[in-house]
Amino acid sequence: MKVNAQSVNFNADRKLLEFVQNRMDKLETFYDRVISSDVFLKVENTSSKENKIVEIKLNVPKDKFVVKKQCKTFEEALDSACNSLERKLKKIKEMQRVKV
């Protein structure tokens, strides 16, 4: 899957970008027709410790999913967002099985 990762208000290191790529690739095990994804990593300038935001836009045939999570670390936010997407992709797959 093509993953377009963008960091906003900071420079992401290679290790974080590899983590994003690996975690997004795991989504293909739940639904193999994923076209591409856009991942936005943002740092919010607040006094709160939970200032890391991950927003994922996932493109599948005839649909697009957007998930936004805010946590203490990017890894935690990415895992949370991917878990939400996994549930959505499983639902799509089940609905397609029922139609056939």
Give the DSSP H/E element, type plus range, for residue 21: helix 14-25
44 and 18 in contact (C-beta within 8 Å)? Answer: no
Residue 76 CB neighbours (<10 A)? 15
Pairing of strands 2-8, 36-43: parallel
Q: How large is the average pLDDT for residues 86-98? A: 90
70 and 81 in contact (C-beta within 8 Å)? Answer: no
pLDDT of residue 48: 83
Can you give the pTM of this predicted structure?
Answer: 0.90
17-28 per-position pLDDT tens digit: 999 999 999 999
CATH architecture of 2-99: 2-Layer Sandwich (3.30)
pLDDT of residue 41: 96
26-70 per-position pLDDT tens digit: 999 998 889 999 999 999 888 888 899 999 999 998 899 999 999
Give the start-to-end residue ranges of the domains of the chain: 2-99
